[in-house]
Amino acid sequence: MPDFDIAVCGVGAMGSAALYHLARRGLRVVGIDRATPGHDGGSSHGLTRMIRLSYFEHPSYVPLLRRAYALWHDLEQAVGRSLLHRTGILEIGPAGGPLVSSTLAAARLHGLPHEILGAHALMTRYPAFQVPTNYVAVLQPDGGFVEAAAAIAAHLALATANGAELRIGETIAAIEPRRDGVRIVTDRGAIDSGTAIVAAGPWATKLLPDARLPLRVTRQVLGWFKPLDAALFANGRCPMFLLETRHGLHYGIPLAAEPGLKFAKHHHAEETVDPDACDRTVSARDEALIRAALAEHLPAANGPMVAANTCLYTMTPDGDFIIDRLPNAPRVIVTSPCSGHGFKFAPMIGEILCDLVSTGSTAHDISRFRLSRFED
């Protein structure tokens, strides 16, 4: 008999959620991670992550997000504190640009509440922004942020309360599929389980070298800026925002949630890195890449950079997630809700993984996330 029904390899955003849902259903589950949850070496650390319901990436994500919102609420009830804060979100860009047009398409298809603001109306209501006259903004009332580190801690606390075992500071050396299960070889020995869930983010390809996963790890830089006019970014004066300009796609989280205005370029420099040998130093060039859009479109925020950090995106070729069993090792499930937009889905991904393990299927439509789409 194996030691556990399921071994979860990596307990960041997705792994911690999976651990909780599996333990909650009474399965014997262990979570393994070489680093303490909340560490800043991967993709899940930090105070906040943005959440939004109308999804420019593709309308098919909206039903998954609706379930994610419900599960975030359930998690809040279970842990007895707020984790998801609805502040509204602005998605700003040229009227016919990808961000605005795709956001509107998703909102209209799914009947989501939203308001369209022209450039003048945007700058009148939210004077922090300076945009060209051909820009528009889509305001979604359901947008906001999730407390990232607190969410992972909540999932792990509830998982262990429901009987899950946590092995932190234990490094996985190999994942070995077998006829009747999976052996996880670590620096402390071996763990036998019926199924393995690999939720290792940037380290997925290293843990599964023979799977040839189509993943690429990129280095991202985030900055926190002290506004020149802090009143424009105070609670209620400026919601979360996405901003598409000639400088690229940027995102911001105002002062209500962070020590300064959090501002970063989505897909910072597309620099492919090794997660174990990544330069974590934030350079003057990094700051300049972020600050160009800040100076032009949020001049009142263009003050000193008071903090900076790096994180990693694990990119698929098409920007969509991977949630699937390995074709030649069906007892190994890979989950990589990645490409820089996955955190908000975490509790729903945990539910999906639990479904796949406990019943073999899920009611959620995850056809978009199959590995087979890369076969050609």
pLDDT at 376 over 80: no
> What radius of gyration, in Å, describes the C-alpha atoms of the chain?
21
Distance (Å, whole) CA 48 – CA 262:
9
> To the nearest 10°, the Cα dihedral for 20, 25, 30, 35?
-10
Domain 4-45+149-214+318-374 of CATH type 1.25.40.10: no
Query: Considering the domain 89-141+216-315, what is its CATH architecture?
Result: 2-Layer Sandwich (3.30)
Three-state DSSP class for residue 301: helix
pLDDT, one tens digit per residue, over 225-256 is: 999 999 999 877 899 999 999 999 999 999 87
Query: By the 8 A CB rule, do 107 and 114 touch?
Result: yes
pLDDT at 38 over 90: no
What mean pLDDT is reported for the chain? 96
Specify burial of residue 131 (Cβ count, 10 A radius: 0-12, 13-18, 19+).
buried
Say which DSSP state 35 is in.
Answer: S
pLDDT, one tens digit per residue, over 10-24 is: 999 999 999 999 999
pLDDT, one tens digit per residue, over 90-123 is: 999 999 999 999 999 999 999 999 999 999 999 9
Q: How far is CA 13 from CA 123, 176, 190, 332, 347, in A?
A: 36, 24, 25, 19, 8
Q: Residue 269 has what pLDDT?
A: 80
The residues assigned a catalytic role are 45, 48-49, 262, 266, 311, 344
Q: Where in the chain is the domain with CATH 3.50.50.60?
A: 4-45+149-214+318-374
Residue 146, C-beta contacts closer than 8 angstroms, at least 6 positions apart:
48, 49, 50, 51, 72, 83, 84, 85, 343, 344
Distance (Å, whole) CA 201 – CA 44:
9
Distance (Å, whole) CA 310 – CA 185:
30
Q: Where in the chain is the domain with CATH 3.30.9.10?
A: 89-141+216-315
